[in-house]
Chains A and B, each alone.
Chain A
């Protein structure tokens, strides 16, 4: 096993494979060995497909050896949240109900990654039916945080965060409805990119909420996320909601000077009840932005109680619509917390739901006008605290469940409601050794600006290079 090989970024390993400095088979074997070593501790995978990945790696090496053109992810071992369909294969969505579900078509995102040459090592652990920000799973076992296996990895893309942080894979697809990319990225200390609402196709991905669901990558570096986004972004006729806008040069934006960018520092909401480690991380990262030549600008935040409430009206209404038949016929096959959160939607009046959808436009327009009239990028914490112990937030469907869920996801939900792109990246660690992370939020389709500033931050700091002790081999 090679730690040095595992520590390469996605971009570095892809470029070395393309230059024949290392073979795709060697890289795949190394990833497989690491997964076999750490899976008993992390429980990051629901399905594991080493043979197929090795066969694909062999084909990549043969193609490169013949001098054929290969894609920007050729030979790179990836694995994805187990909610992306592949024709003829099981997609569990982390659920008991879909344990045997075999899709009859492929997700567009996975087809695009495969066309770019990426290897697929398996389906990753996740919260049941994309519901839950902690990383618990009653059916497949809890996923564990590589920085401390007693702590939560975050959810719902729990395996995507854990596998990427432990250097089992070089990147992973997650999905985000209220923080499900950014929260596990934040708890596991990796990069998570939630694109603008319509930037990436959702065809063939398990739905939770039509209005908020976003597909996006978790990686170790911003440049890695930029490369993956460049592969998966763009209009898909099979998802008519996907934008027809041209795809920007996200990777080209990395390496650009961040000087002159105005970074928004919020007053009020995003400063409330911060853990001291998160508050210190926010101050330190703002100092780094200043050193990079950015201008810090104070910006006022609107009423977030209203935003969080309307988010929950829309989420529960749409999720209950998707699950109503199973909630009636297979009620006991849901974990109690998941069932409770879905069932609330059965009691939302249609008028309340349509009001919330309608109000979204005015609230988002005012937010963009007010906030991004004053700054280019908004800088807010991903969560108010570092990853807590798994058992501390194992609240099931108890009375304190809504408050605990809101405590974890209260800084990410509003950005989903607003439909804006957000990049979460690590900016420090707590005294207990758990990552602390922040989000860079932009106006619609400003992913390239987020990549520009995020990459500049990572060039000036080394938080993203820290390796969990259990993965140090």
Chain B
């Protein structure tokens, strides 16, 4: 479950980005974020302490078909 609601989206849009969202726009964005949050939060629990994004380039270059 996500605690994100339409007001949070509307306020963040106004305060951070200077955007005035309609009710429908705020609800549409909230729906996408709310569906994402539990899955992303669960995934994040698997992250190791010393991992970092540059590891992906090393992974690509290190792999060898042969």
Contact = CB atoms under 8 A, between A and B. Distances in A.
Interface string B3-28: 00000010011001111000001001
B63 A358 contact: no
Given A243-B60, A328-B18, A360-B56, A309 B33 contact: no
A338 B29 CA distance: 12
Interface string A296-318: 00000000011001101100000
Interface residues of B, number: 35
Interface in A327-349: 327-328, 331, 340, 343-344, 346-347
Nearest to A196: B60
Nearest to B21: A343
B44 interface: yes
Contacts of B1: none
Interface in A52-91: none
Scoring B32, B52, B56, B57 by chain A CB atoms within 10 A of each residue's CB, the highest score goes to B56
A5 interface: no
Contacts of B42: 306
B40 to A, nearest CB: 6
Contact of B33 (A245, A347, A356): A347
Given A354-B53, A355-B47, A344 B33 contact: yes
Given A358-B51, A359-B44, A360-B53, A198 B35 contact: no
Contacts of A361: 51, 53, 55-56, 58-59
Contacts of A313: 36, 40
Contacts of A196: 60
Given A313-B40, A340-B25, A356-B40, A243 B56 contact: no
B23 to A, nearest CB: 13
Contact of A309 (B9, B12, B36): B36
Contacts of A312: 32, 36
A399 interface: yes
A413 to B, nearest CB: 14
A357 B63 CA distance: 19
Contacts of B9: 347
A443 interface: yes
A239 to B, nearest CB: 13
A443 B28 CA distance: 37
Contacts of A327: 17, 19
A309 B47 contact: no
A321 to B, nearest CB: 12
Contacts of A446: 65
A364 B56 contact: yes
Chain B residues touching A, majority SS:
helix
A419 interface: yes
B60 A419 contact: yes
Interface in A228-247: 241, 243, 245
B48 to A, nearest CB: 8
A310 B43 contact: yes
A352 interface: yes
Contacts of A241: 57
Nearest to A369: B63
A352 B55 CA distance: 17
Contacts of B39: 305-306, 309
A362 interface: yes
B12 A347 contact: yes
Contacts of A364: 56, 59
A397 interface: yes
Contacts of A449: 65
A144 B40 CA distance: 37
B44 A198 contact: no
Scoring A241, A361, A362, A444 by chain B CB atoms within 10 A of each residue's CB, the highest score goes to A361
Given A359-B44, A443-B65, A344 B29 contact: yes
A357 B56 CA distance: 8
Contacts of A309: 36, 39-40, 43
Scoring B9, B35, B40, B46 by chain A CB atoms within 10 A of each residue's CB, the highest score goes to B40
A402 interface: yes
Scoring A312, A343, A446 by chain B CB atoms within 10 A of each residue's CB, the highest score goes to A343
19 contacts: A241-B57, A309-B36, A313-B40, A327-B17, A340-B28, A343-B13, A346-B19, A354-B53, A355-B43, A361-B56, A362-B46, A364-B56, A397-B25, A402-B35, A419-B60, A443-B63, A443-B65, A444-B60, A446-B65
Given A343-B13, A443-B63, 17 more contacts: A241-B57, A312-B36, A327-B17, A340-B28, A343-B25, A343-B29, A346-B13, A346-B17, A347-B12, A357-B56, A359-B43, A359-B46, A362-B51, A368-B59, A399-B31, A442-B65, A444-B63
The 3 closest A-B pairs by CB, nearest first: A361-B55, A357-B53, A444-B63
